[in-house]
Every structure is written in structure tokens, then in C-alpha cells.
Amino acid sequence: MSNLFDRIKNTVMADLNDALDNKEKKNPISLLNQYLRESENEAKKVEKLIERQYFLKEEFARELKKTEFMAEKRCKQAEIALQANEHDLHQIAIDEEAMYKTQALGLREAFTEASNQLEVLEKKHREMKMKLKDMHIKRLELMGRENVIKVTKKMNRVLDDSIVGKANVRFEETERYMDHLEAKINSGYDMSMFDSRIHELEKGLKNEETSIK
């Protein structure tokens, strides 16, 4: 039964991967945008870690300063107790001075390690930011190429022989129709001028006849 479920699971995952592959091929810019978003989110996480590392470094520095101060203080107090023949207080001061010096040694090592780690993190963060910048530039380049491809496809459709041929036929039909209208209008204008001239001539002849009578 488990083998059957495994086969079903593998089949479903294979189909899903194929669908994702086809989607990536159809829309690579969308996939790149997804990668950028994920990378930017990771960069923000790294920035928070770097801020935390700064905080830890400063904490180590503060604790180191306090510990060194206490070690020096106990050292002076031990001298004062010794001068006052307070052997118990002298021993306590010496013991605590040694303890603070041990703590200071550990804190100094921790501060140095935190500082070195911070430099490494900052360097990697700068590299990450540069890679993100490169990805943004690459996305712009790909968007430009994608736009050129889309425009070229549209232009090719317009310049296709069948479309251009239909357009030319339509233009020729329109041009013939306009020529026909112009000829008809011009013909009507010529007839009108002809009738007008004949009418004037007829009036002139009638006037001459009237004057002769």
C-alpha cells in the first residue's frame, strides 16, 4: 500500500514540476521577479542579523569595560586592605580581582570574535547587495528584450502579407469610390454650366428679336 501511495505522490509531483516548468518558460520575467523578492527578503533578514551582531559587539565592549574597571578597583582595594592589615579583605579583593581578570580575558576574546564575524557579515552583505543590483539590472535588460519581442510580433502581424493585402484592397476600393464620386460631381457641375450658358444665349436671342420688331 505504501508503494502505491509513493507512486501516486511521485506522479503528482512530476506533473506539478512539469506545470511549473511550462509556466517558467511562458513567463520568465515573472519567475525572475519571484527570485528577486525572495532574495530581497533574505537580504532584510541578513540586515537584522548584522544589526544584532552590532548590538552583541557593543554589549561585549560595555561588559569588558565594566569588568576591567572592577578588576582595577579590586586591585587598589587589595592594596588598601593590605596596608590596613585586613588580611581577610585583602584575600577577598585579590580573589575577585583574579575572577574579573579571567572574565575580562574571555570578554576580550568574545569581543574580538564578534568584531571579526561582523566584518565577515558586512562583506557578505555588500556582496549580496551587489548581486541584487546585478539582478535588477538583468531584469531591466530582459524586460527590454521581452518588450522588443512583443513589439516585433505585433509589427510582423501588421506586416503579414494577408493583412497588408486586405488593407491594400480596401484602400484601392476606397480610392475608386472617391474617383467615382469626384467624376460624378464634376459631370454634374459641367452640365449645370452648360445649361446656364445656353439659357443666357437664349435670352440674348429673344432680346434681339424684340428689339428688331
Determine contact, residues 152/38, Cβ cutoff 8 Å: no
| DSSP letter string, 31-79 | HHHHHHHHHHHHHHHHHHHHHHHHHHHHHHHHHHHHHHHHHHHHHHHHH
Q: 24 pLDDT exceeds 60?
A: no
More confidently predicted of 128 and 159: 128
Amino acid code (one letter) for 75: C
Interval 86-140: pLDDT, tens:
999 999 999 999 999 999 999 999 999 999 999 988 888 888 888 888 888 888 8
Q: 27 pLDDT exceeds 70?
A: no
* pTM (predicted TM-score): 0.52
Q: State the DSSP code for 84.
A: T
